[in-house]
Amino acid sequence: MDGPEAVQKLSEAEARIELERLAGLLGAANAAYHGADAPDLSDAEYDALKRRNAAIEAAFPHLKRADSPSEQVGAAPSETFAKVAHQVPMLSLSNAFADEDVTDFDISVRRYLGQDEAIAYTAEPKIDGLSLSLRYENGALVQAATRGDGTTGENVTANARTLGDIPARLEGAPDLLEVRGEVYMSHEDFAALNARQAEAGGKSFANPRNAAAGSLRQLDASITASRPLRFFAYAWGALSDPLSDTQMGAIERLKALGFRTNPLTALCAGPEEMIAHYRSIEEQRATLGYDIDGVVYKVNDLGLQARLGFRSTTPRWAIAHKFPAELAWTRLEAVDIQVGRTGALSPVARLTPVTVGGVVVSNATLHNEDYIAGRDANGNPIRDGKDIRVGDWVQVYRAGDVIPKVADVDLSMREPGAAPYVFPTACPECSSDAIREEGDAVRRCTGGLICPAQAVEKLKHFVSRAAFDIDGLGAKQIEYFYNDDQLPIREPADIFTLKARDEANVAKLKNREGYGERSAGLLFAAIDEKRTIPLRRLIFALGIRHVGEGSAKDLSRHFGTWENLGRTVLAAIPAAATHRAADEAAAAEQAAAAEEGRRARTSELRGRVWAEAGLSEAAREAWEELVGIDGIGATVALSLTDAFGQERERASIERLVGHLTVTPEAAPQTEGSAVAGKTIVFTGTLEKMTRAEAKARAEALGAKVSGSVSAKTDLVVAGPGAGSKAKKAAEMGIETIDEDAWIALAGQG
């Protein structure tokens, strides 16, 4: 039917109609493939239609359509929903568990602001749903977006419009207003939905949050409309005019505009009232009719919120006080050892499945070998020193989304003859020695990239959501390609040569089980899409130990480009050894001093080690630049210099970067800033703002803040008591100003 002969018999008019039909079918199939979990055509059917289309086009080239499906292999958008860049990022919250964490939070807020007086906070339930950002322009809802990775979300406007709690129009709102809040499902609606799903033979949802997420993220908005979703407003993003000067006032304003706001939102004068309100909400939790997983506290004064600002992923002015974890008892059936991307051997408990807070748990973490043995990193007993053995009756603990943990063991249930667990000293994956370094709680495989587990985990990390996030290349596919001899992916660079290698191969990916022309084309297109990558994602994706998303962002902000980062890290390599030598000397001195009952004096000693190391000025400066970056310390600096210092690892990184266009970190909005691009050192006491605030302010204005004065320093802000740094600046002729001049320069915030 789709052979050339059949096509030859078509008249020109028939061919035109047929091409139109095929364009429609293939277009719809593409949309279904991207949108729904289950595509409506098999790969084989899709490929047959494609071939027929190509055959007709070959026979009637002049009839080829402008939207010809043959031009669209992999070119179709490779996402389920269109992407939306959030004008103001959607952040997460840091967590408090104990009452003490709440008092500490208040202390840290006041310390940051340098304020002794009490601060007022709002306290409100933390809704367990998914957050949504609603953009209103001139009172009309124009866009709704999910949180996504916080920077980019999914456009779910059509779906959001179907929610009764989301007004289509607002009266008296600022011209631009982004309202943020939580989409959730009530317990009652959740139970009814699952009953309906079961009746219709559809899948049931594990909990109300999954049901809410699954219902909102439907390509067909009429499905969303049929699901009982609700919305509480609790925050905002971009705005043309402030809603109020307090958090409470802003919530009231949102309510007046027609949004549902949580009735349990209260204003508290300080930690004592916050904790009291938390207890009260906790008591009402079971009768609320919807899931909440804690209480969120926010500084009430929006002026103070602005001064406090943000860390890399969380605001300094808010915290989530989580409810205690859920517990259950079950049997430990086995201990498996997983090898992570940094070689860490992690013990995983295989459990007789048990329900903990509504979720079935069959795996839990056992942390590390000391934890199993019943001691902490310093050798002190935990669980009264009780060790954990296979066959034991153990307590499992689950808090929110985090991985469940084995918390306790019931010795009265222990089988006689149960043997203590022996932690392996060789890697279970590659048999290399697994060693524990001084001061490290974790035993690590020494196999590096020869260890398949490490290599695979590194690759999985590389393609993960906060890293390269390649559509169609997840953990499962990484395992598949890693073990594939025809078309292997063994290091990140291999991902970017996949298409070229496939083209050179006789056996093609599209002819494999699980792949067709379309899915292979889409995979190559998704990879191509990520050849251009923001610097911070690249840094994070490398999977260098201790370099998480936060450090990646800090490094990326500081260096701006991959070349700057690489140059400095390479230059700093010789200094890493000196840093370690100084640490060792200091530790030896500490030990000797403790022995002799005197106080250790290590700073001079460290200075001497540095002085005698014979380092080049460039190496020393590069090291100081690295450790001076706000948020980056010696631990990260050592990890970076180690990674770049290892021949094989560096070569692997270089091979990768050769395939990429790395987009530099966008400079913060620094229009009119007198300090953008300058390197500033703060020294001495600041009296009107804390050091942390001054640093954050300088960075927000586009400056770099460094801990030490060097040739790169442009400006020194010296408060009373400034010592050697101010002196060095004077000697070097670097401009030095006092705090008042700094405030005049930086503005009040």
Q: Write out the two tokens for 480.
A: 């598949």
Show the CA angle centred on residue 225, arms to residues 178 and 77, nearest 5°.
70
Nearer to ligand IVH, 265 or 713 (CB): 265
Q: Please, what is the minimum distance in Å from the beta carbon of residue 590 to ligand IVH? A: 40
Check binding of 182 to ligand IVH (CB under 6 A): yes
Residues 6+ apart with CB under 8 A from 707: 624, 627, 628, 681
- 376 to 61, 387, 441: CA distances (angstroms): 74, 12, 9
Q: Please, what is the minimum distance in Å from the beta carbon of residue 342 to ligand IVH? A: 26
Q: Please, what is the minimum distance in Å from the beta carbon of residue 12 to ligand IVH? A: 57
Out of 74, 237, 315, 404, the residue judged to bind ligand IVH by CB under 6 A: 315
Residues 6+ apart with CB under 8 A from 675: 698, 701, 702, 703, 715, 745, 746
497: amino acid identity, one letter: T
Nearer to ligand IVH, 124 or 494 (CB): 124
- 266 to 128, 277, 481, 501, 596: CA distances (angstroms): 19, 8, 54, 61, 57
CA 652 to chain centre: 24
Q: How far apart are the C-alpha atoms of 568 and 558, rounded to whole Å? A: 11
Check binding of 318 to ligand IVH (CB under 6 A): yes
Q: Please, what is the minimum distance in Å from the beta carbon of residue 182 to ligand IVH? A: 5
Nearer to ligand IVH, 234 or 481 (CB): 234
**Best CA proximity match to 304, nearest among 37, 597, 24, 690:** 690
DSSP per-residue codes, 410-433? -GGGPPTTPPPPPPPSB-TTT--B
Nearer to ligand IVH, 233 or 569 (CB): 233
Q: Write the interaction track for ligand IVH spanning residues 273-312; mark x where CB under 6 A is met and - where it is not.
A: -----------------------x----------------
Residue of minimal Cβ distance to ligand IVH: 131
Check binding of 268 to ligand IVH (CB under 6 A): no
Nearer to ligand IVH, 166 or 495 (CB): 166
Nearer to ligand IVH, 124 or 554 (CB): 124
User: CB 444: neighbour CB atoms within 10 A?
Assistant: 23
Cβ–Cβ under 8 Å, residues 57 and 64: yes
Q: Please, what is the minimum distance in Å from the beta carbon of residue 132 to ligand IVH? A: 8
Q: Which stretch binds ligand IVH (CB under 6 A): 195-203, 313-321, 576-584, 610-618?
A: 313-321
Q: How far apart are the C-alpha atoms of 89 and 148, rounded to whole Å? A: 10
Q: Output DSSP code: residue 624.
A: H
Question: Long-range CB contacts (< 8 A, 24+ apart) of 691-697?
Answer: 692/112, 693/112, 693/113, 693/114, 693/307, 693/749, 694/742, 694/746, 695/630, 696/309, 697/746, 697/749
Q: Please, what is the minimum distance in Å from the beta carbon of residue 150 to ligand IVH? A: 8
**Best CA proximity match to 481, nearest among 490, 468, 472:** 490
**Best CA proximity match to 693, nearest among 743, 729, 740, 741:** 743
Q: Please, what is the minimum distance in Å from the beta carbon of residue 167 to ligand IVH? A: 19
Out of 93, 396, 640, 696, the residue judged to bind ligand IVH by CB under 6 A: 93
Nearer to ligand IVH, 178 or 182 (CB): 182
Check binding of 520 to ligand IVH (CB under 6 A): no
How many helices (H) does the chain have, and how many strands (E)?
A: 27, 24
User: CB 393: neighbour CB atoms within 10 A?
Assistant: 17
Check binding of 335 to ligand IVH (CB under 6 A): no
Q: Write the interaction track for ligand IVH spanning residues 221-250; mark x where CB under 6 A is met and - where it is not.
A: -------------xx---------------
* Residue of 126, 405, 678, 695 with catalytic role: 126
Nearer to ligand IVH, 234 or 562 (CB): 234
Q: Which stretch binds ligand IVH (CB under 6 A): 90-98, 280-288, 300-308, 406-414?
A: 90-98
Q: How far apart are the C-alpha atoms of 246 and 498, rounded to whole Å? A: 54
Q: How many CA atoms lie within 13 A of 274 on its CB side?
A: 31
SS3 531: coil
Q: Write the interaction track for ligand IVH spanning residues 107-136; mark x where CB under 6 A is met and - where it is not.
A: -----------------x-xx---x-----
Looking at residues 481 to 510 of the shown chain, list those that interact with ligand IVH (rule: CB under 6 A): none
**Best CA proximity match to 263, nearest among 284, 243, 279:** 284
Q: Please, what is the minimum distance in Å from the beta carbon of residue 317 to ligand IVH? A: 8
Out of 25, 41, 55, 91, the residue judged to bind ligand IVH by CB under 6 A: 91
Q: Does the annotation count 83 as an active-site position? A: no
Helix (H) or strand (E) holding 406: strand 405-409
Q: Please, what is the minimum distance in Å from the beta carbon of residue 99 to ligand IVH? A: 19
Nearer to ligand IVH, 274 or 372 (CB): 274
Q: How far apart are the C-alpha atoms of 596 and 417, rounded to whole Å? A: 46
**Number of residues in contact with ligand IVH, rule: CB under 6 A?**
15
Q: Which residues are known to be catalytic?
A: 126
Positions touching ligand IVH (CB under 6 A) are 91-93, 124, 126-127, 131, 147, 182, 234-235, 296, 315, 318, 320
